[in-house]
Amino acid sequence: MNVQRSFTDEHRGILYLVATPIGNLDDMTVRALETLRQADVIACEDTRQTRKLLTHFQIEKRTVSYHEHNKTASGSGLLQWLAEGKSIALVSDAGLPAISDPGADLVRDAVEAGYPVIPVPGANAALTALIASGLPTDRFVFNGFLPREKKDRRLELERLKYYPETLIFYESPHRIVKALEAMLEVLGERRVVLARELTKRYEEFARGKCSELLEWLEAGEIRGEFCMIVEGFRGEKDPEPQDSWWSALPLAEHVDVYLEQGLSKKDALKRTADDRALAKREVYNEYHRERE
């Protein structure tokens, strides 16, 4: 058990989670600025991006890189500094650190090692988009980025299909159309809000049905990172499907059934892959592994 009294106990070696603006620099809080000025070191996703922020506010402080590709090596060094009693301010490129970024790993490790972790709240893209969406805000589920692969993306949406809560996603401009197409196919026609350039000069909210937003995107230039706010499930659940005839069979025996019916191996593998919603290559490899 771990009880942290952030402001009543004397601490050495503190990890601060400092929110930074998601666009408009005027959203930087007084407390966040003071924390950055007092920290011994600032850990950041991109030192160049954070340096622009620090320069704007005339803060001269050592920065170190901490991101997805160096989090293991960099994280151990940061923990060592905490052990030496240094205070570290963790920031992301925009918004709250540890939301859809590796900062969550550092927080976990710091907590497990017994160091205090103190949040310094501020701007957050997901909640900023939600409160202006016009969709219900009393219950919501944040999902971050959908998987890149089509099969994985579909499986994740199938998992979320009957959630009554408003759903929140992040998405890149390169995958926004594919994400909406998958939602229309799996979730059906729902109200969706696309928010981009939040707090910036060209802030934009597009509110409508999923199919309408696909037409809107296809008619214009797709730019900027998106927050997607999606209406929760409002209908009746489909009846629970009965177990398929092959559900209790090992994969190789599933293929063998089709072979015994006279299908070629190629067609048997394809039919099995379709039944199980797997990639054909995955079925091929597993079949030959079981038959070796």
pLDDT digits (tens, 9 = 90+) for 1-18: 889 999 988 888 999 999
Q: Are residues 179 and 269 in the same domain?
A: no
Q: What is the mean pLDDT of residues 90-111?
A: 92
Q: Are residues 24 and 107 in the same domain?
A: yes
Q: Is residue 168 part of a domain?
A: yes
Q: Are residues 285 and 257 in the same domain?
A: yes
Q: Is residue 240 pLDDT above 80, yes or no? A: no
Q: What is the mean pLDDT of residues 21-50?
A: 96
How many CB atoms neighbour CB 121 within 10 A?
12
Number of separate domains in the chain: 3
Q: Are residues 36 and 84 in the same domain?
A: yes
pLDDT of residue 239: 59
Q: Are residues 137 and 201 in the same domain?
A: yes
Q: Are residues 167 and 110 in the same domain?
A: no
Q: Are residues 84 and 102 in the same domain?
A: yes
Q: Is residue 6 part of a domain?
A: no
Q: Is residue 236 part of a domain?
A: no
Q: Are residues 71 and 160 in the same domain?
A: no
pLDDT of residue 40: 97
Q: Is residue 4 part of a domain?
A: no
Higher pLDDT among residues 72 and 117, named by residue: 117
Q: Are residues 197 and 110 in the same domain?
A: no
Q: What is the mean pLDDT of residues 118-136?
A: 97
- The CA distances from residue 142 to 69, 218, 230, in Å, are 24, 26, 10
Q: Is residue 5 part of a domain?
A: no
Range of the domain at 138: 126-230
User: Looking at 93, 123, 153, which one is the last position of a domain?
Assistant: 123
pLDDT of residue 151: 86
Q: For residue 82, with 0-12 CB atoms within 10 Å meaning exposed, 13-18 middle and 19 or more buried, which class applies?
A: buried
User: Looking at 104, 123, 142, which one is the last position of a domain?
Assistant: 123
User: Looking at 123, 144, 164, which one is the last position of a domain?
Assistant: 123
Q: What is the mean pLDDT of residues 231-241?
A: 76
Q: What is the mean pLDDT of residues 47-55?
A: 95
How confident is residue 120, by pLDDT bands cut at 50, 70 and 90?
Answer: very high
Q: Is residue 58 pLDDT above 80, yes or no? A: yes
Q: Is residue 173 part of a domain?
A: yes
Q: Are residues 81 and 144 in the same domain?
A: no
How confident is residue 269, by pLDDT bands cut at 50, 70 and 90?
Answer: confident
CATH number at residue 79: 3.40.1010.10
Q: What is the mean pLDDT of residues 216-221?
A: 88
**Distance linking the first and last C-alpha atoms of the chain:** 49
**Residue among 179, 188, 183 nearest 236 (CA):** 188
Q: What is the mean pLDDT of residues 231-240?
A: 78
CATH number at residue 220: 3.30.950.10
Residue 149 is classified by DSSP as S
Residue 235 is classified by DSSP as S
- pLDDT tens, position by position, 180-193: 999 999 999 999 99
pLDDT of residue 292: 67
Do 103 and 19 meet the contact criterion of CB atoms below 8 Å apart? no
How confident is residue 243, by pLDDT bands cut at 50, 70 and 90?
Answer: low
Q: Are residues 139 and 186 in the same domain?
A: yes
Q: Are residues 180 and 265 in the same domain?
A: no
Higher pLDDT among residues 285 and 135, named by residue: 135
Strand-pair partners of 191:
209
- pLDDT tens, position by position, 198-207: 999 999 999 9
Mean pLDDT, rounded, of the chain = 92
Count of residues making up the chain: 292
Q: Is residue 60 part of a domain?
A: yes
Q: Is residue 3 part of a domain?
A: no
Q: In what side-by-side order are the strands of the sheet with 191-196?
A: 140-145, 166-171, 226-230, 191-196, 204-209
Share of the chain above pLDDT 70, in %: 98
